[in-house]
Amino acid sequence: MAKTWVDKDTCIACGACYSTCPDVYESDDDGYAFVKLEGGLEGFVEVPEEFLSDAQDAKDGCPTESVRWED
């Protein structure tokens, strides 16, 4: 089981995460990312199995390590 969250304080709105895994990450009106899953704005939420691979790629691809991850 993995959980994810986006730290908006360090996100630079590069767009990589929601391009890589649009089922989990989404852009706000200014291009900053957030986790679109239920509870994603409040803190870490579990990544559904079917999105795990793409979400992990998104985490690995974030240039500022703002896509946070807990295994």
Nearest distance from C-beta of residue 50 to ligand F3S, angstroms:
20
Sign of CA dihedral 31, 36, 40, 45: negative
Q: Work out whether 55 is an interface residue with ligand F3S (CB under 6 A).
A: no
Give exposure, 21-46, as e/b (b: 16+ Cβ within 10 Å): beebbbbeeeebbbbbbeebeeeebe
Of the candidates 5, 16, 21, 37, which one interacts with ligand F3S according to CB under 6 A? 16
Q: Work out whether 24 is an interface residue with ligand F3S (CB under 6 A).
A: no
Q: Total residues at the site for ligand F3S (CB under 6 A)?
A: 14
Residues forming the site for ligand F3S (CB under 6 A): 6, 11-17, 33, 62-64, 66-67
